[in-house]
Amino acid sequence: MTNSNEFKLMSHLIRRAGFSSTKEDIEKRLKIGYEETVEELLNPVHKNDTIDDYLLRRYNPDQGTSHDSTGAGSYWLYRLVSTNTPLQEKIGLFWHNIFATGYSKVTNGKSLTDQIAMFRKHGTGRLDDLLLELSKDPAMILWLDNMDNHKEAINENYGRELLELFSMGVGNYTEDDIKECARAFTGWTIANAEYTKQLAVRNSIWPYGKIAWRYEYDITDHDADKKKFLGHDGDFNGEDIINIICEQPSTARFISRHLYHFFVADEPPVPSWPYVEPQDMEAIKILEKSYFDSNHNIEAMLRTLFNSDFFKSEKVYYKKIKSPTELVVQILKITEEFDGPNFELSSRNNQITYMGQQLLNPPSVEGWHQGLEWIETGSITERVNFCVQQMSDLSNPGILKIINFILNSDIQNISTSDIIDKILNEIGGLDISQNTRESLEDFINNIDLSKSSLADESTIANVFGVIGSVPEFQRC
Amino acid sequence: MITKNITTKFMNYSHTLGLCTMEGRGFMFPVDTAFSNDGRMHTISRAYPAVSRNLRVTMYDTEGDFFGVYGGFGEDLGQFRWPTAITTHQNGDIYVSDEKNNRITIYGIDGTPKKSWGITGSNPGELNGPAGICFNKNNELIISDHKNNRIQKFTSDGDFISLFGNETNQNINLNLPWGITISSNDYIYVADWGNHQIAKFSNDGNLLQRFGNLGTTNGDFKNPSSVAVDKNEYIYVADWGNERVQIFDPNGTWIETLRGEATLSKWGEEFMLANQEEALPRSKSNLEPDISQFKGDPYEESAHIEKLFWGPVSVKLDKDDTLYVTESNRHRIQVYKK
C-alpha cells in the first residue's frame, strides 16, 4: 500500500500542506480522496476546537500569556503539534517568514501571538484583507516604526517594506512611491504609543507584567492631502494604497513565487529574485492567473497549487529542506510526547532555536533564508542529534507504539530490510535511496546479536534513531 | 470607562501588593499565597522553566516590607519544578506542593527546607500532580491530587490516612481538581476545575453539595482554581477562566462579583519613582480603554486593561477575613476588605 503512487502523492501533500503524518492517517485520507483532502485542508471541519488554551494556561502561565519569546514560541509550537487543522498553522508559518516580525525589537510576546492568530484567520483569504490587517497589526507597527510615521514628518520604514518585502518586490516602484505610500499610512499607530515604545525598548515587565497592544487610528496625524502612487492620483489612505498594490502584476508574481518556494520546491533566497528567473515559470504563471481569476484569493491559489501537475510531479518530492520548525514538529508528532501541556514544551521550542529558527524572532525583516541554508554545519548536527535522540527514546509513547507494532509482527522471520520498511511506512512512507538502505542494513547487520536480539525493543529503537539521521529525513 | 461587573458592596478594594520581577523582591507568575504564624506572607512564584532562577517563595508583609526568598528550581531538598500551592501548619512550618516533582516540601518559618515527601503514582498514598493543599483542625494535610481526580489525607509527616474521589465513588466525579480549603465547620471545599463547579464534602469525604455551571453570568464558572471560606461560611471563588472572583453566601447563592481594581503597589510606586522614563509616558497613557472593543472576552479584557484581574488563581483569607487575590498573569496580590 505504501509503495503505491497514490500513497506517495498523499504523503507528499501532507508533508507540504501539514507536518508529515503517520501511515494510518495517510491511509484514512486516501479513502477520502486527494482532491477532497485538499478541500478538507483548505476548509477544515474542526476549526481547531481540539486545542484547549485553558489547559495550557493552567500548567504554563508564561505560555498562556505569551510572556516572552520563549513563552510565545512554546505556545505556537504546542498548537503546531496539536492542531487538527495543519494547513491553518502552516499558513501561519508561511506568512511569518514573509511578514517577518521579531521579538528582538517588539519584546511583547502577546502581540506576536496575536499576529500569528491574525495570519490563521486571514492568511488564506484575499491578499487585500490580509495586508490591511497587517498594516493595523500592533507588532508590525512597532517593528517597522509606523507609530513614528507622522503627518509632518514621515517615517518610510513600513511603506518601503510593504512594497519591497511584503507585496511587489524590488524594481517595481520608485523612491517617490515609497514616500507617497508612507504618507498614506500616517496616523496608523498603536494606543499609548509613547509608553508602549518605551516599554518595548526597555523590555519592561514592570509594574505588573506586559500589557497587550492595540491598533489606533489617529486622524489628526493622518496626511489627507493628494498623493501620486504607482501612476494613480488621489487623497489616498492606507486602504487605497493596498488596493492599488494588489492589482499589480508584480504582486501576483511575488506572491506566486513565495507560494511555490514554500509549498513546492526551494527557490534561491528572496533577495536574488529580481535577478534570477523562477525555476518553473509555467507554474508561476498558473498561480498568477489563479491570483487574478480569484480576485487575489490565497485559498484559491493554494487549491490551484495542490491540484496542479507541477505540485503532483514526483520531481518535486523531497525537493525541500525541512525548516527547523517543520522538523521538530514532525518528530514530536511521531513521538506523541505532547498529548497535553507538558513541562518539556519550552525545551523542545529551544531545540528549534538551536537549529537556526527561533519562532517569532526572525533574524531581520527579510525573514529566514530557506533551503540549503537550513543545514549549515552547526545546525545539521543539532538536527541529526535531536532526531536520533527522540526517535530512539523508548519513553516516547509514539516510538513505543510503533516498536510494539513491529514486535507484534512475525519478528523472528522478517528480514532487516523488512524492519526498515516497517518503520519507514509507519512514519508516513519515507522514500530512501539505495545507498541509504544499504547503510541502514549494514547498521543492523553489525548489531552484536550475542548481547541483544533483533526482537528487542532497544534494538529496534536504535534502528529507529538511525533512520532519524538519514539525509532523506531532513527533506520533505 | 470600566463599569462592567464591578461592585464593592460586600468586599471593598483596599490595596495591591507586589511587583513583577525576575528574582528577589516581587513575583513571577505567582500561584498561591499563605500567611505564616509571624504575620508574614509567603507567595510562590511558579515562573517558567526557561528562566529557572525565577522560581521562588517571596516573604513579605501586607505593608510591603520584604524579608527574602527561598526555594528555587530543581529536585534537591527545598527546590521545586512546578510549585502549585502553599499552606501553613499550626506549628509554623510552611508546606508547598509541587505537581511536577509529585511531592510536598516542608520549610521552617524562615524558609529553611526541612523535609520532602511524596511517591509518584496512583495507588492510595501516591501522588500524581498534587495541587491545592490545606490543613484541617487535626493538622492533617488535605491534598487535591489532581491528575488522580481525588482528595487525599495525610499526617503532617506524610503518612497516608485516607482518600476519596472518583475511585471510591463515581458520583464524586472530580475533574482535575485544583484549589482546596477547610471551613470553620470542617467542611472540605474543592475547586473542581474541569467541571466548572465548587464541590463541598464532609470531612470524611461525603459529597454534600455542588454548585455552579460552565458560563459567564453571575454564579457560573469557567475553570475555578481556588476557593476560600470565611468565619461566617461565605464562600469566595477564584473564577479563573472568567478572570474574576465571585462571592457566595453559605448556601451557595451568588452575592457579588469582583473584576479587579488594582492600583500601584508600594513596590510599584518605588519602581516608578526610580524610573521616570517609564513613569512619565505611563502618566499620559489611557490604561482603561473602552472594554467593549474586546467583545466580552475576559482574557483579552484583562490582557489589555491592567487594573483587572488577569489569572486570579488563588483566593486566601487572613484571620480578619481580609481577602487576598493572587494573580498569576499580573504578578501581584489584590487585597479586599469588608
Strand positions, DSSP E, B168-322 = 180-182, 188-192, 197-201, 207-211, 226-229, 235-239, 244-248, 254-258, 312-317
The fraction of chain B above a pLDDT of 90, given in percent, is: 95
Residues 116-175 of B with CB under 8 A from A: none
pLDDT value of position A123: 98
The CA distance from B244 to B248, in Å, is: 13
pLDDT value of position A417: 86
The CA distance from A403 to A463, in Å, is: 10
Q: What is the mean pLDDT of chain B?
A: 95
Nearest to B49 among A68, A202, A346 (CB): A346
Residue B156: pLDDT over 70: yes
CB environment A280-291: b (16+ within 10 A), e (fewer): beebbebbbebb
- Interface contact B262, partner A, CB < 8 A: yes
pLDDT value of position A455: 74
Q: B331 and A209 in contact by Cβ < 8 A? A: yes
Query: If you measure CA to CA, which chain A residue comes closest to B283?
Result: A195
What HEC string does A262-279 produce?
A: HHCCCCCCHHHCCCCCCC
Residue B2: pLDDT over 60: no
Nearest by Cα to A14 from A31, A26, A6? A26
* The three three-digit cell numbers of residue A128, written as one number: 487585500
pLDDT value of position B3: 44
Q: A347 and B282 in contact by Cβ < 8 A? A: no
pLDDT value of position A415: 81
pTM of the model as a whole: 0.96
pLDDT value of position A1: 56
**Is A304 strand, coil or helix?**
helix
Neighbours of A118 (CB within 10 A): 20
Which residues does A contribute to its contact with B (CB < 8 Å)?
Answer: 54, 57-65, 67-68, 70-71, 110, 191-192, 194-195, 198-199, 202, 204-209, 211-212, 214, 343, 346-347, 350
Q: A211 and B304 in contact by Cβ < 8 A? A: yes
CB-side exposure of A102: number of CA atoms within 13 Å? Answer: 13
Q: Which position has the higher pLDDT, B252 or A22? A: B252
- In this structure, what are the phi and psi dihedrals at residue B98, rounded to the nearest 5 degrees? -135, 105
The arithmetic mean of pLDDT across residues B12-30, rounded, is 97
pLDDT value of position A414: 75
The amino acid that residue A393 corresponds to is D
pLDDT value of position A377: 76
Please list the alpha-helical segments (H only) found in B212-331: 266-274, 276-283, 298-304
Residue B4: pLDDT over 80: no
Q: What is the pLDDT of residues B261-282, one digit of tens each?
A: 999 999 999 999 999 999 999 9
The CA distance from A189 to A210, in Å, is: 19
pLDDT tens digit at each of 476 positions of chain A: 567 999 999 999 999 999 988 898 999 999 999 999 999 999 998 765 667 899 999 999 999 888 899 999 999 999 999 998 999 999 999 999 999 999 999 999 999 999 999 999 999 999 999 999 999 999 999 999 999 999 999 999 999 999 999 999 999 999 999 999 999 999 999 999 999 999 999 999 999 999 999 999 999 999 999 999 999 999 999 999 999 999 999 999 999 999 999 999 999 988 899 999 999 999 999 999 999 999 999 999 999 999 999 999 999 999 999 999 999 999 999 999 888 888 899 999 999 999 999 999 999 999 999 898 999 878 999 999 999 999 999 999 999 999 998 888 876 777 888 889 999 999 999 999 999 999 999 998 888 777 777 778 888 899 999 999 999 999 99
pLDDT value of position A112: 98
pLDDT value of position B1: 41
The arithmetic mean of pLDDT across residues B74-103, rounded, is 97
Q: Residue B12: pLDDT band by 50, 70, 90 thresholds?
A: very high
DSSP structure class, residue A19: S
Residues 25-44 of B with CB under 8 A from A: 29, 31
Q: Is the dihedral of CA B225, B228, B233, B239 positive or negative?
A: negative
Q: How far is CA B147 from the centre of its chain?
A: 18
